Amino acid sequence: MGSVSDTIYALSTGSLPSGIAVIRISGDRAGSIALALSGSLPPERVAKYAILKNSDGRELDRGLVLYFAGRASVTGEDLVELHLHGGRAVVASVMTAIATHPGLRVAEPGEFTRRAFLNGKIDLAAAEGIADLIEAETEAQRRFALANASGQQGKIYGQWRDLLIEARALIEAELDFADEDDIPGSVSDQVWTRVERLKTLIAHQLAGVHRAEIARLGFEIVILGAPNVGKSSLLNALIKRDAAIVSPEAGTTRDLIEVSLDLDGQKIIITDTAGIRETDGIVEQIGIERAKRKAEEADLILYLAPANAQAERYAASDLKHRTIGTMADLYPETGQHFDFHVSSETGEGIDTLLTAIGQIARDAGISHHEILPSRERHVLALRNAHSYLLASLDPIIPLELRAEELRLAAMELGDIIGTTRVDDLLDVIFSRFCIGK
Ligand code: GDP
């Protein structure tokens, strides 16, 4: 990691060629570079059309120059944006011209965002939200990431942390004045009522972790059933393209085939599995075991049988699943016992099934405006904070120790938003960004 006092620059837009390309320069020297390239520094926050030249006076490109001074910029330090024509040679020539200035270097992945965090423009959870926003592919991912990127997680966890810091201060004040008659003991009662309420809120966060995972990572569906019941055909019908092997031979789909799709803005991951049946074949048995394990982790199981068979429930019937009667074109009369009656051949019932899956996935995900943990490290911190609060509420232990539990819980919440800065953690978080962000 280079020094935070360096002025950094990078191409912040995507691969070239492109319509336009934006180079960002952040740090003390940003203004003087813009001046050197364009002949004058534009007024702050005003786009100025300029001819960019190198130090020999040779014209490189014509485009927009923007200047954001210090605190008003996204990184919290002087920032310049050069909006260029998005050609490879154009960008290369401007990058070369910038590089000739001393005290500058190319930014590392995520370094602009890292500086925004270090300069107090955003908290750490918001930085992670920005990373998610850039990677978001579905509407649900975008919505969740945007709420986090705009600081909503940080706001909640920050408020809870402040509440605990205040609670601890009140308890310690009570301890300090314990011998004096004029301090009523009821302060303590109020504090513990608040701590109890906070513990419940944190428990609610922890209970929502899986729903947040569904929004971020996708809703997992596993297709199960005996060989030849039409599993691969159904997968193909669902995704409307040939992603799985459709074969009339029993037991050919031994491995798991995973496909993800965007269903009504929700990421859905569908896994086609080996047919489940009694068998002596070791390879096939491995596939069956793998399918069963996958089914245990799934959010929904589609359990298939031809529509002329019984609509049996999957053995582990406490798992969320739906029975699907397949080959409705061959067996049009006998599908009533199944939750769904479909034909992959004619497409009958497929849209109904997709609509139902979309609804189940939406119900399992997060609702609008809901703020939930979006990283494993948030979950761990919340879990620890919850245990500390639980310990603090034990009236048997001395008040000093109970106050100490509050301090530890506050620290855990602070870790989520990055109040204690651990460089290793920052390296992990920001190295996952792309260059230029
Ligand atoms: P899997 O082993 O469970 O994955 O089953 P497949 O998807 O490979 O299907 C087994 C056989 O049934 C294949 O020959 C398919 O063409 C056929 N099949 C699958 N679904 C349908 C359907 O809806 N209608 C008809 N007529 N045949 C189907």
CB of 327 closer than 6 A to ligand 1?
yes
The DSSP annotation for 410-421 comes to: HHHHHHHHTSS-
Determine the residue of 233, 331, 340 to mutate for testing ligand 1's pocket, defined as the one with the most ligand atoms within 8 A of the Cβ atom: 233
| Structure confidence by residue, pLDDT tens digits, 154-189 | 999 999 999 999 999 888 887 776 655 555 556 778
- Give the atom of ligand 1 at the shortest distance from the alpha carbon of 342: 23
Q: Place 113 in a pLDDT band, splitting at 50, 70 and 90.
A: very high
| Structure confidence by residue, pLDDT tens digits, 275-331 | 777 776 777 777 778 888 888 889 999 999 999 887 777 766 556 889 999 999 999
Res 179: pLDDT: 58
Tell how far the Cα of 343 is from the centroid of ligand 1, in angstroms. Answer: 9
| Structure confidence by residue, pLDDT tens digits, 330-354 | 998 888 889 999 999 999 999 999 9
Query: Residue of the nearest CA to atom 14 in ligand 1?
Result: 248
Residue 85 predicted with pLDDT over 80: yes
Mean pLDDT of 205-214: 95
Query: Residue of the nearest CA to atom 24 in ligand 1?
Result: 327
Encoded amino acid at 411, one letter:
M
The 3-class secondary structure across 229-273, one letter per residue, is CCHHHHHHHHHCCCCCCCCCCCCCCCCCEEEEEEECCEEEEEEEC
Average predicted confidence (pLDDT) for the chain: 88
Of residues 296 and 60, which shows the higher confidence score? Answer: 60
Tell how far the Cα of 298 is from the centroid of ligand 1, in angstroms. Answer: 23
Res 188: pLDDT: 78
Largest CA distance in the chain: 88
Whole-angstrom Cα distance, residue 204 to residue 22?
Answer: 42
Tell how far the Cα of 361 is from the centroid of ligand 1, in angstroms. Answer: 26
Burial class of residue 194 in the structure, from the number of CB atoms within 10 Å of its CB (0-12 exposed, 13-18 middle, 19+ buried): middle
Tell how far the Cα of 248 is from the centroid of ligand 1, in angstroms. Answer: 7
- In this structure, the chain runs to a length of 437
Tell how far the Cα of 303 is from the centroid of ligand 1, in angstroms. Answer: 14
Q: Are 134 and 434 in contact (CB under 8 A)?
A: yes
CB of 235 closer than 6 A to ligand 1?
no
Q: Which of 65, 212, 56, 130 is nearest to 436 (CA)?
A: 130
Res 180: pLDDT: 54
Q: Place 69 in a pLDDT band, splitting at 50, 70 and 90.
A: very high
Res 215: pLDDT: 92
CB of 329 closer than 6 A to ligand 1?
yes
Residue 248 predicted with pLDDT over 50: no
CB of 348 closer than 6 A to ligand 1?
no
CB of 231 closer than 6 A to ligand 1?
yes
- Give the atom of ligand 1 at the shortest distance from the alpha carbon of 272: 4
Res 34: pLDDT: 96
Residue 369 predicted with pLDDT over 60: yes
Dihedral sign computed on CA atoms, order 307, 311, 315, 319: positive
Lowest-confidence region among 43-52, 58-67, 197-206, 219-228? 219-228
Tell how far the Cα of 430 is from the centroid of ligand 1, in angstroms. Answer: 47
What pTM was computed for the model? 0.84
Of residues 420 and 326, which shows the higher confidence score? Answer: 326
Of residues 333 and 39, which shows the higher confidence score? Answer: 39
Tell how far the Cα of 230 is from the centroid of ligand 1, in angstroms. Answer: 4
- The contacts of residue 375 (CB under 8 Å, 6+ apart) are 125, 128
CB of 346 closer than 6 A to ligand 1?
no
Whole-angstrom Cα distance, residue 323 to residue 314?
Answer: 8
Whole-angstrom Cα distance, residue 269 to residue 397?
Answer: 49
Whole-angstrom Cα distance, residue 402 to residue 321?
Answer: 46
Tell how far the Cα of 35 is from the centroid of ligand 1, in angstroms. Answer: 68
- The contacts of residue 141 (CB under 8 Å, 6+ apart) are 132, 135, 215, 216, 267
CB of 229 closer than 6 A to ligand 1?
yes
Q: Place 245 in a pLDDT band, splitting at 50, 70 and 90.
A: very low
CB of 306 closer than 6 A to ligand 1?
no
CB of 236 closer than 6 A to ligand 1?
no
Lowest-confidence region among 125-129, 136-140, 246-250, 270-274? 246-250
Res 186: pLDDT: 63
Res 388: pLDDT: 98
Query: Residue of the nearest CA to atom 28 in ligand 1?
Result: 327
